Amino acid sequence: MALTMHRLATLLVLLSWTLPTMASFHFNLTTVPGYFLQDDPDTDPDAFNYVSSNFGLINRTYDTDTDLDTKNTTQWQRFAYHLHHLNQESHHKTPNVTYRLLFLGRHGEGFHNAAEEKYGTKLWDCYWSLQNGDSNLTWFDAHLTTAGIKQAQVANGAWEKQIERKVPFPQSFYVSPLHRCLATAEITFKGLNATPVPFRPVVKELLRETIGIHTCDKRSPASNITASYPEYILEKGFANGTDPLWEPDARESNSMRDVRLRDLLYDIFEHDENTVLSLTAHSGAIASILNVVGHQEFALATGAMIPVLVRVEKVAGPKPEMKVDPPIGVPSCGE
């Protein structure tokens, strides 16, 4: 396990090659509440429907509305103007602060989700998740089930509707390297009239699900990703060959995953000046992102999406230390 931790740490350093090794700055990330229902403690994640609620956009006024002819503008248009204004104002007054709108999408149902349901979480974690599949299902680097494809199509329809309502559309697209996310991003965004042609999301190693033990979270070689999605862009430094991070006997702890997703956000905020960013990922990865931007917990169903407005402040000094628990071994199937 010590070796595993070391190997993971080394790879994370390699992957974050673009961050200075003696980082002379970092980012203070905070969720800006009051714009989306999902950051309201009174919203019940289990009952919440992102499709029928304009993605959760709160119906409200903004102090910047007075600049607009509000009689003929949508809520999204007024929100987009407000966001633009927040960034313009901070550009002048606090140049180290930007406001970013993240759309965090979870992949549709994969064969691993179906298998966990079939066997129950206990047997899944102690035995079946270690296998590549059973006699009926394959869940190595799990692909989408028919239901998962439908969920991504629902997301596509939801985006189409919100585009009509003038949602600020993502300017950058990031995707986990696991097949269920590569497919979900394509089904969700490709072909929408706001999506650039060709659709070229950037595949980010660090955006993947909790690493280790579960074969569904082991990624395919870069050559397979490129052959399957020729238009997708592998980020610079993306490892060739087989998965360099996955270990058969050690699974990342939640706190290790938090650090990884924080570093992913640091990388994105350092190198991408766009305001509206789409990230297609996983329940665990999204839980970590929400945690490191100070958002309340908000579990997403397969195929669901959550918008988060994040205040990103560039601060001098090294990255803050985070408490990290060791990786976890395979649980016993015994009583």
Torsion of CA 229, 233, 298, 126, to 10 degrees: 60
Residue type, 321: E
Both tokens of 197, joined, read 């042609």
Say which DSSP state 129 is in: G
Give the shortest CB-2-to-ligand NAG separation in angstroms: 26
Point out which span in 22-30, 149-157, 248-256, 277-285 binds ligand NAG (CB under 6 A): 22-30
Q: Is position 240 an interface residue for ligand NAG (rule: CB under 6 A)? A: yes
Q: Is position 72 an interface residue for ligand NAG (rule: CB under 6 A)? A: yes
Q: Is position 314 an interface residue for ligand NAG (rule: CB under 6 A)? A: yes
Beta bridge partners of 105: 280, 305
Both tokens of 181, joined, read 């996310």
Pick the binder of ligand NAG from 65, 199, 313, 319 (CB under 6 A): 313
Residue 22 or 316 with smaller CB distance to ligand NAG:
316
Pick the binder of ligand NAG from 157, 237, 318, 329 (CB under 6 A): 237
Q: Is position 77 an interface residue for ligand NAG (rule: CB under 6 A)? A: no
Cβ atoms 278, 174 nearer than 8 A: yes
Pick the binder of ligand NAG from 40, 67, 89, 134 (CB under 6 A): 134
Residue 112 or 278 with smaller CB distance to ligand NAG:
112
Cβ atoms 91, 312 nearer than 8 A: no
Binding residues for ligand NAG, total number by CB under 6 A = 22
Q: What are phi and psi of 202, to 5 degrees?
A: -95, 125
- What is the rounded CA–CA span in Å between residue 151 and residue 113? 13
Rounded to the nearest 10 degrees, the angle between the axes of helix 2-15 and helix 254-271 is 10
- Interface residue list for ligand NAG (CB under 6 A): 25, 28, 30, 59, 72, 96, 134-136, 141, 220, 224, 227-228, 237, 239-240, 311, 313-316
